[in-house]
Amino acid sequence: MGSDQIQAVSSSHEVLRSVLAAPGVKGKMVTSSSENGLTNLIQSIISKKQEQKDPFYVLDLGVVFSLVEKWNRSLPNVRPFYAVKCNPEPALLGALAALGTGFDCASRAEIEAVLSLGVSPDRIIFANPCKAESHIKYAAGVGVNLTTFDSQDEIEKIRKWHPTCSLLLRLKAPDDSGARCPLGAKYGALPEEVTPLLQACHAAGIAVAGISFHVGSGASHSRAYHGAIAAAKAAFETAVELGMPRMSILNIGGGFTMGSNFNDAAVTIEEALESYFSNEPGLTIISEPGRFFAESAFTLAVNIIGKRVRGNLREYWINDGIYGSMNCLLYDHATVTAMPLDPTGRGVKTYLSTVFGPTCDALDTVLTGHQLPELQVNDWLVFPNMGAYTTSAGSNFNGFNTSAIAIHLACSNPS
Ligand SMILES: *Cc1c(COP(=O)(O)O)cnc(C)c1O
């Protein structure tokens, strides 16, 4: 190892230590796991639970650490503000706080959750373009002084309840067609609305610090970021033409996914920033990734509570479903995968299988046409990549309470 590498390793150990000491993490048991460790870890949790067969999550803080490192390497000039709505688990929030991110909160309760971890209010953006007056008053009281807007009525509410707040004008992204969940039908100023909205802020004496956009959650093509950054630049210039103070914040929102899509997005963003914003001295660039930091950090283990055999078809009932963690199938247009915890060797015969959730609604169907080996009641299924828009939007329909699902903390060696 060269001395640079040794330094990198020892500083990453220090950072990991700060994650383990973070509010939300400290005081909870964190199991360190290594290669192939997740399966072993899930097995050891299950053996300790004995008769207790409730579903549970494993949150791997080592994955969170690696993702933040990856972000910082790929987009070193773009500070992430984690979108809390994606998964508000306190251990995740605390780990991200220790790793230096800011937070995108959309409500009073989300701001409270972040502040309660000791995060200072200047690390929070109230990134909801349409806020209830009571929530605006709360933000003013605790010193959250940056928010987004896209309407005249929002300006009026801010003027009344939080006039020292800085605003980011949320633009409708020019092209969110490639996103799994486009947001443009609900949020973002249209091009022709930019001038009147900026003028209204000017008239109200409210500072417009910059521009924000969101290319849609689960963005699939990186050109969406290019078009949106170009539109943001045009809005920066409009402010100058209107004789307003120079804007200084560009917020490129969320939409980031794992894998090669992220690398494409990072390259496109860096290029677009170079083309459009290299002549903006003192610019602060921020972002609001949710899915990117949460999705792959959480693994869900569920128990098979029922089984029915119909010819070659195997039907299983598990103890989490569409009204719980798997609401992502409906709301987030997600796909999920299930693996048996104990794959009984390779080459094992598989059956066309259906996996149902526990509630008495036929809609509560998690997987159809899925190949699984023959499983029995009390066996476990493992769902990887279940951290994004899962528990955060679950209900307690039929008495199956999503928020009661336990979360075990693990820390793999960061890759
Ligand atoms: C939901 C949301 C995010 C997070 O989006 P991801 O696609 O999960 O990265 C960021 N900003 C705002 C304003 C959002 O509403």
pLDDT bracket for residue 38 (50, 70, 90):
confident
Q: How far is the CA of 384 from the centre of ligand 1 (A)?
A: 21
Atom nearest to 388 CA in ligand 1: 8
pLDDT tens readout for residues 100-135: 999 999 999 999 999 999 999 999 999 999 999 999
Strand partners, 169: 149, 211
pLDDT tens readout for residues 209-233: 999 999 999 998 999 999 999 999 9
pLDDT value at position 49? Answer: 82
Q: How far apart are CA 183 and CA 177, in angstroms?
A: 10
pLDDT bracket for residue 8 (50, 70, 90):
low
Pocket of ligand 1 (CB under 6 A): 83, 85-86, 104, 127, 214, 217, 253-256, 288-292
Question: Once rounded to an integer, what is the mean pLDDT over residues 184-194?
Answer: 97
Question: Once rounded to an integer, what is the mean pLDDT over residues 71-91?
Answer: 98
pLDDT > 60? residue 390 = yes
Considering the chain, what is the average pLDDT of its residues? Answer: 94
Number of helices and strands (H, E) in the chain? 12, 19
Residue 47 tokens read as 């053996």
Q: Give percent of the chain with pLDDT exceeding 70.
A: 96
Question: Once rounded to an integer, what is the mean pLDDT over residues 377-396?
Answer: 97
Q: How far is the CA of 166 from the centre of ligand 1 (A)?
A: 20
pLDDT value at position 413? Answer: 80
86 is catalytic: no
Question: Once rounded to an integer, what is the mean pLDDT over residues 35-50?
Answer: 84
Q: How far is the CA of 162 from the centre of ligand 1 (A)?
A: 24
Q: How far apart are CA 60 and CA 211, in angstroms?
A: 34
Atom nearest to 181 CA in ligand 1: 7
pLDDT > 90? residue 263 = yes
pLDDT > 60? residue 1 = no
pLDDT bracket for residue 7 (50, 70, 90):
low
Distances (CA, A) of 259 to 62, 265, 321, 352: 17, 10, 26, 29
Minimal-distance CA residue to ligand 1 atom 5:
254
Q: How far is the CA of 288 from the centre of ligand 1 (A)?
A: 6
CB-CB neighbours of 58 under 10 Å:
23
Q: How far is the CA of 184 from the centre of ligand 1 (A)?
A: 12
- The 3 state secondary structure assigned to 83-98 is EHHHCCCHHHHHHHHH
Angle between helices 152-161 and 133-142 (to 10 degrees): 50
- Mutating to test ligand 1, I would choose from 186, 214, 286 the residue with most ligand atoms within 8 A of its C-beta, which is 214
- Mutating to test ligand 1, I would choose from 128, 131, 217 the residue with most ligand atoms within 8 A of its C-beta, which is 217
Closest CA to 290 of 104, 414, 74, 122: 104
Q: DSSP alpha helices (H): ranges in 130-173?
A: 133-142, 152-161
Where residue 138 falls (left for φ over 0; alpha for ψ -120 to 50; beta otherwise) is alpha
pLDDT value at position 343? Answer: 64
pLDDT value at position 36? Answer: 64
Q: Which domains are delineated in the chain?
A: 61-294 (3.20.20.10), 298-412 (2.40.37.10)
pLDDT bracket for residue 35 (50, 70, 90):
low
From 105, 201, 328, 360, active-site residue: 360
Atom nearest to 127 CA in ligand 1: 13
pLDDT bracket for residue 9 (50, 70, 90):
low
Query: Is residue 117 within 8 Å of 105, Cβ to Cβ?
Result: no
pLDDT > 60? residue 396 = yes
pLDDT tens readout for residues 310-358: 999 999 999 999 999 999 999 999 999 999 997 665 568 999 999 999 9
Q: How far is the CA of 13 from the centre of ligand 1 (A)?
A: 30
Atom nearest to 294 CA in ligand 1: 8
Atom nearest to 129 CA in ligand 1: 13
Residue 120 tokens read as 């200072």
- Mutating to test ligand 1, I would choose from 81, 85, 385 the residue with most ligand atoms within 8 A of its C-beta, which is 85
pTM for this model (two decimals)? 0.96
